[in-house]
Structure 1
Amino acid sequence: MSDLATTVTVIDACGRAGVPVLLLSDPGMGKSSLVRGLAAAEGVPCETVLGSVREPADVAGLPVVTDTGVVLSPPAWARRLADAEAGYLFLDELTTCPPAVQAAMLAVALDRVVGDLTLPGGVRVVAGANPPDRAADGWEMSPPLANRFCHVQFAPSVDDWLDGMTVGWAAPPASRAITADPTRAETIKALVTGFIRLKPEHLHTFPRTAEGTGGPWPSRRVWAMLAAALANVRDDDAAARQAITFGLVGEGVGVEFLVWCDQADLPDPAAVLDDPALVDWTGRPDRVWAVLSAVVGWAASAGSVDAWRKAWGPLLAAAEAGAPDVAAAAARPLAACRPAAARVPAAVRDKFKPVLDAAGLTGQAVA
């Protein structure tokens, strides 16, 4: 269970990353009031779509024949959000939606596509649901739909309710989320890829029970969602980090991942590019891989010739310190993202010749 301030932080952090959030609670806990309050506090519209009283075409778009063919005309609520360029789309009572409506929500939930309309990036998707056994004509959530959300157990405290009654529900707690810069984004991504390299069995684990498929579980999609959302949370915000991690990959795998993150303690990739000696390259191979992954990601996001050339320095240091296999694994994506004008450093040619051969860079000029 997350306190109200943590729930607001999770919604904000996930919203910045384009990750939809699902608030789960008993009826009457105030899910819709929270979402409307967030929208009011930000001065943006909130459109509520109650799936139990909608047809699939009300969500996925109504087919309309035009002179140029058939188009999927978006509903009025989607057009209003598109015109506002920001806001909250609240998909309410998700576990009362029949399977056909749940299927129509697949593209809406994660991709924000409604018919032939793509909602602007400023639109955040939040859903609300009661447990199926406590919902009116409840349905279990389909695995594809459940795997598109960060699941948050919503249970405001008595004090949260008293505060809302006193000052109004349009004054939610302040979010603790941050806006990730490129360096932080690559560091968090490296934590995710480093963990999966260490424990590849957790990359995709489909639940064995029907009940489990309606909750959070690890998949390739949610690991990418986790990397994007966690980048918007401070390292010392343990409550929000845990809520997002458990809400996307589940509690069991989530605990393992968070422990690994704390033990990895990755350095700033930009600092490693400037001075590879900052890292003990003889340490744990999984940590070395994560550091190199962050370095490669940072260089790829920078997109400059200088960053790409400098990124080979840490890889060479790791290879010379006794981790050539790990360095070669990191060299493959680095070679693949070479800027057009970049020349392969001379020291790299001999050390990573098989990788360069595979990337077609052996014949390139060196510098």
Structure 2
Amino acid sequence: MADLATAVTVLDACGRAGVPSLLLSKPGMGKSSVVRALAAAEQVPCKTVLGSLREPADFAGLPVVTADGVKLEAPTWARELHAAGCGYVFLDELTTSAPTVQAAMLAVALDRVVGDLALPDRVRIVAGANPPDSAAGGYELEPPLANRFCHVMFAPSVDDWLDGMTAGWVSPPASRAVSTDLQRQAAARGAVIGFVRSRPDLLDAFPVSVAQRGGAWPSRRTWAMVAGVLPYLRDSDTAAVHAVVLGLVGEGAGVEFLSWRQMMDLPDPVSVIEDPTCVDWSSRPDRVWAVLAGVTAWAASRGTVEAWRSAWGPLVAAAEAGAPDVAGAAARTLAQTRPAKASVPAAARRFAPMLVAAGLTKDAA
């Protein structure tokens, strides 16, 4: 369960990463007030849309015949957010939305597309819901829609309520989310890649239980979301990190990933590139996978010749220290991201078969 400060932090981190979030709590916990207060604090518009009062066309667009053909016209709330260039879409009472309406929300939730109108990147998608057993005329969330959200179990403390009563519910606590950079993004991506390589059965684990399908569960999409949101959180912010991971891939896979990540104690990619000897390359293969995946992701994100060439150093060190298979797989990935006119370092010739397959034969010679 996330208290108010943690919920605000998770909503902020998800918003920065472009990941939709879903506040879940019993009735009367103040979900709507939190979202409206965040919008007011940021001085951006907040449009509340109740699916129980809407038709599918309110999300998929209303067909309108024009001189150029049929256009799917977006409703007023979407056009106003588009004009503002930022703000919040608050899909309130989500579990009262009929399955047909939920289906129409799919593109809105993940792609911020309403009809033929694409909302700006600075428009954040947040939903609120009570569990189906306490919602008025409630429905379970359909699996495709549930898998598009970070599910945040919201339980404000007594102190949170007292502070809100005192301040008038207009001053949400400060977010603990942080700015990110390519290094943090690469490290998070490497951790997810390393874990999934060690537990490929958890890449796609569609729940057997109907009730669980309406919650958080691991899929290719939600693992990518984990890698996208974690860079906006401090590693030391345990409450927010746990809320994000469990809210995206579910408790089973999430707890296992968090335990694995803590045990691996992964270094940041730039430190590894600067000094490959800082890693024990003879350690667990899944740790080596994660480290090299982070290095490769950093080089690919930078996109420069210098970064690409420097990333070969850790791969060579890993191969020479007894992890040639892992290093070879990383070499294939790194070779595919070569910038134009980048030559392969001489030390990387040991990966000649991979370089030949990637079309880098002349550079490897």
| TM-score, normalising length: structure 2 | 0.98
Question: Where does residue 156 of structure 2 map in the other structure?
Answer: 156
**Is the CA contact (8 Å cut-off) linking 2:186 and 2:298 kept in structure 1?**
yes
Question: Where does residue 220 of structure 2 map in the other structure?
Answer: 220
Question: Where does residue 310 of structure 1 map in the other structure?
Answer: 310
The 10-residue stretch of structure 1 (39-48 or 132-141) with the greater mean CA deviation from structure 2: 132-141
Question: Where does residue 327 of structure 1 map in the other structure?
Answer: 327
**Is the CA contact (8 Å cut-off) linking 2:352 and 2:364 kept in structure 1?**
no
Are 1:361 and 2:363 counterparts?
A: no
Question: Where does residue 281 of structure 1 map in the other structure?
Answer: 281
Question: Where does residue 131 of structure 2 map in the other structure?
Answer: 131
Q: Secondary structure at the match of 1:205?
A: coil
Question: Where does residue 338 of structure 1 map in the other structure?
Answer: 338
Separation in 1 of the partners of 2:47 and 2:236?
34
Question: Where does residue 49 of structure 2 map in the other structure?
Answer: 49
What's the CA shift string for 1:242-288, capped at 9, x where partnerless?
00011011111111101111111111211211221121111111111
Are 1:11 and 2:11 counterparts?
A: yes
Question: Where does residue 89 of structure 2 map in the other structure?
Answer: 89
Structure 2: which amino acid aligns with 1:32? S
Separation in 1 of the partners of 2:37 and 2:25?
18
Q: CA RMSD in A?
A: 1.0
Deviation at 1:67, TM superposition (A): 1.1
Uncovered stretches (5+) of structure 1, i.e. residues with no partner: none
Deviation at 1:294, TM superposition (A): 0.7
Separation in 1 of the partners of 2:133 and 2:239?
28
Structure 1: which amino acid aligns with 2:148? R
Separation in 2 of the partners of 1:365 and 1:27?
64
Separation in 2 of the partners of 1:47 and 1:153?
22
Deviation at 1:77, TM superposition (A): 0.5
Question: Where does residue 77 of structure 1 map in the other structure?
Answer: 77
What's the CA shift string for 1:226-248, capped at 9, x where partnerless?
11111100010000000001101
What's the CA shift string for 1:285-326, capped at 9, x where partnerless?
111111111111111111111111111111011001110000
Separation in 1 of the partners of 2:195 and 2:93?
35
Deviation at 1:347, TM superposition (A): 2.5
Separation in 1 of the partners of 2:265 and 2:153?
29
Deviation at 1:364, TM superposition (A): 3.5
Separation in 1 of the partners of 2:204 and 2:358?
28
Question: Where does residue 294 of structure 1 map in the other structure?
Answer: 294
Separation in 2 of the partners of 1:113 and 1:206?
26
Q: Secondary structure at the match of 2:22?
A: strand
**Is the CA contact (8 Å cut-off) linking 2:348 and 2:364 kept in structure 1?**
no
How many pairs align? 365
Deviation at 1:346, TM superposition (A): 2.2
Separation in 2 of the partners of 1:287 and 1:313?
17
Question: Where does residue 144 of structure 2 map in the other structure?
Answer: 144
**Is the CA contact (8 Å cut-off) linking 2:355 and 2:364 kept in structure 1?**
no
Question: Where does residue 101 of structure 1 map in the other structure?
Answer: 101
Question: Where does residue 182 of structure 1 map in the other structure?
Answer: 182
Q: Secondary structure at the match of 1:178?
A: coil
Deviation at 1:134, TM superposition (A): 1.3
Structure 1: which amino acid aligns with 2:193? T
Question: Where does residue 121 of structure 2 map in the other structure?
Answer: 121
Separation in 1 of the partners of 2:57 and 2:23?
24
Q: Secondary structure at the match of 2:363?
A: coil
Separation in 2 of the partners of 1:128 and 1:262?
31
Structure 1: which amino acid aligns with 2:25? S
Question: Aligned residues: percent identity?
Answer: 68
Question: Where does residue 173 of structure 1 map in the other structure?
Answer: 173
Structure 1: which amino acid aligns with 2:311? A
Question: Where does residue 199 of structure 1 map in the other structure?
Answer: 199
Q: Secondary structure at the match of 1:231?
A: helix
Deviation at 1:365, TM superposition (A): 6.4
Q: Secondary structure at the match of 1:188?
A: helix
Uncovered stretches (5+) of structure 2, i.e. residues with no partner: none
What's the CA shift string for 1:103-141, capped at 9, x where partnerless?
010000011111111111111110011111211111111
Separation in 2 of the partners of 1:86 and 1:240?
24
Q: Secondary structure at the match of 1:12?
A: helix
Question: Where does residue 24 of structure 2 map in the other structure?
Answer: 24
What's the CA shift string for 1:6-35, capped at 9, x where partnerless?
000000011000011111111111110110
Q: Secondary structure at the match of 2:206?
A: coil
Separation in 2 of the partners of 1:240 and 1:24?
15
Structure 2: which amino acid aligns with 1:96? T
Separation in 2 of the partners of 1:19 and 1:136?
27
Separation in 2 of the partners of 1:40 and 1:100?
32
Separation in 1 of the partners of 2:8 and 2:360?
48
